[in-house]
A and B are shown apart, each in its own frame.
Chain A
């Protein structure tokens, strides 16, 4: 199919039907090189966003057509347009213009030369719906001699098919020319099979019930009976009111649903369309593709990577390297961001002088920006790794290898990677749940990932173990290992319990069928583009919330600025202090007094009755409030409360000493080893992290799940700490 030939002897081109910017959609099965083709067609113009209400990514870019730019929309990869969930339904909506979507003028369907029949199945569905289709034949180089002839294939499915190699941009000009021609073609709905009289009757009944906005006239602007039939067939196939297999579609009008449920279809009728399309494919496709594609390379690699013993060893190796490099490479960057912003804040403070505004700018805005930016190195690296593993085909194998383990807790095989990354930080781990296609699997994973021992809990454990647990180095080490084991156990049990009790998280009998695609070399530009798209979306959508929360939390611990009546005159004391050291001492005391008097400090006092049964006093209460910014902030907040300076860390000897010597008002030691254990358990289980909540809100698309997450973890933490502390006391520990 060459564009040149058409230029010479083609008749004058008919005008395009209207003058607005043409909308082009790109559809295809997963793993057919759709993303690579999208990137090659749009260059760097792509923008990533979400479809409203659901976490399916919408990627849009500019495509240069001869008469000007068009919008190219990358639809989610799918094997079929039939849907059971809102996530799957979006493909139909975006393809024919339902539920607020605009019907694209042309649909490019990616056809995998090595998986031809299956790709053409999707094309047949698009044709039935009346889409103007152009086929893009991908993986031609991989298919080698087995690659079908694009022209013969085009004749078979009666639309233009162009062979493209996106890596080398071969065939792209021809594809663009074919799209331009398709824009001028009349819409037609093409069915390669004829419904049986029984199905015909059902289709007629449902078509009659189609609401106006679902009619071809509203969607396309022209009457297209075949397209209305195809929409009716979709409804008839996908809408299900039965109790055990009910659909989770959204935006299906009530009258349409009622009309479908009134139909009494049999299983044979249900299968008719699928079997008829496959009968056609099995009859016709062998004419254009008759050689088997060569899969020997993938077979050889899988013989090792999926081997009973060797496969597991390689798997553990890959995951260890991944996890360690995440720490090794991200930590210096995180430290760099931290130091850079601190230095910048210090400079700014020198320039502006002391004022409330300066404190707001430095401790609120700049520190809050830091709270967002510190996640960036881990998120960038995580998506670099994930993109690489996904594109080369290994991520699907991880799910295959781990499915047995994860399934025993009713988790998806793909939940393994987010759970692993939970050891580093829940925020990138939760963004990684997107590799699972089903919402239920994603949400369940999100609900348990925050229980894993993230790196922000380590400073707290280090401080508590160092200061409060009197034992040998070995026991302290074992206690730390124990905290890790505790987190893995609780998260797996929590997953199992929630899948049994929470209605929306119940393990339904949904098929777990994942494709194990052939191994392919990932393309660095594709991986980098995906990495940047996801990271910038994190900054835009979760980052802004985290920044706002940081500033609010700063204000909570900063205001009011006046100290209560009868407080010492710290300014005078500073002036009187004989040495620099004494000055710092007074300054620290003043800060401690301010913090105690702040709204956050008062909140710490107010929650004391609630946390006292866990062995905590109001000072820990203030620390818990501060820790909401990030768990490790607990340490520096305690440092301020105990007037040992504003930048105490987990190794700080003055802070450890202060904790060991702290007394209750009645003279008892405030922090016993039992309190220390109770505190660690509380931190292990409590939802002490606003950034996690912000990212769960974004990934789950609402406030319901973050509120549930916060509630269940807080209740769990309180209960277990209560049992540990009170039980320990009863047993005579202190």
Chain B
């Protein structure tokens, strides 16, 4: 079972392996540059535990936990 982005500890980073989930969702993430091999860092978690704030290519995004679970990762 590969690790997903939702399982990275706060402050940790990882490399994207693949993106699962519906077609529109995958396309949106790939287009914003979350292509396999890209390094992602979990910067903060919102006060209520969700969503996550991630850093991708010098940009920061808010992404929900269940969506982050669709992003398979490997160690950087």
Interface of B is mostly: mixed
Contact B22 A121 (CB under 8 A): no
B-contacting residues of A (Cβ < 8 Å)? 79-80, 82, 84, 114-115, 117-118, 121, 237, 240, 242, 244-245, 267, 270-271, 274-275, 278-279, 282, 292-293, 295, 302, 306-309, 311-312, 396, 399-401, 403-405, 407, 413, 509-517
The 8 closest A-B pairs by CB, nearest first: A404-B48, A400-B62, A516-B60, A80-B31, A274-B30, A308-B47, A278-B35, A511-B25
Interface-central residue, B26, B29, B32, B36, by most chain A CB under 10 Å: B32
Complex interface: chain B residues within 8 A of A399 (CB): 62
Contact A118 B22 (CB under 8 A): no
Q: What 10 new A-B contacts, CB under 8 Å, besides A278-B30, A295-B58? A: A121-B33, A245-B22, A275-B30, A308-B47, A400-B51, A404-B49, A510-B24, A512-B51, A512-B64, A515-B59
Of B22, B30, B49, B61, which one neighbours A271 at CB under 8 angstroms?
A: B30
Among residues of B, the one whose C-beta sits closest to the C-beta of A298 is: B60
Knowing A237-B27, A270-B23, A270-B27, say if A516 contacts B61 (CB, 8 Å): yes
In the complex, A295→B41 CA distance in Å?
Answer: 15
B56 to chain A, nearest CB (A): 9
Contact B31 A401 (CB under 8 A): no
Knowing A400-B62, A403-B64, say if A79 contacts B53 (CB, 8 Å): no
Contact B62 A403 (CB under 8 A): yes
Mark each residue of chain B from 34 to 76: 1 if its CB lies under 8 Å from any CB of chain A, else 0.
0110000001101111110100011111111001000000000
Of A82, A401, A512, which one neighbours B27 at CB under 8 angstroms?
A: A82
Of A293, A309, A396, which one neighbours B62 at CB under 8 angstroms?
A: A396
A266 to chain B, nearest CB (A): 11
Among residues of B, the one whose C-beta sits closest to the C-beta of A306 is: B44
Contact B28 A513 (CB under 8 A): yes
Contact A516 B35 (CB under 8 A): no
A sample of 21 cross-chain residue pairs with beta-carbon separation below 8 angstroms, ordered by A number, consists of A82-B27, A115-B59, A237-B27, A245-B24, A270-B27, A275-B35, A279-B35, A312-B47, A400-B46, A400-B51, A400-B53, A509-B21, A509-B22, A509-B25, A510-B24, A511-B28, A511-B63, A512-B62, A513-B63, A515-B60, A516-B61
Knowing A274-B31, A275-B35, A404-B48, say if A516 contacts B62 (CB, 8 Å): yes
A135 to chain B, nearest CB (A): 18
Contact A516 B53 (CB under 8 A): yes
A619 to chain B, nearest CB (A): 49
Contact B59 A118 (CB under 8 A): yes
Complex interface: chain A residues within 8 A of B28 (CB): 511, 513
In the complex, A369→B31 CA distance in Å?
Answer: 48
In the complex, A282→B36 CA distance in Å?
Answer: 12
Among residues of A, the one whose C-beta sits closest to the C-beta of B65 is: A404
Contact B46 A514 (CB under 8 A): no
Among residues of A, the one whose C-beta sits closest to the C-beta of B48 is: A404
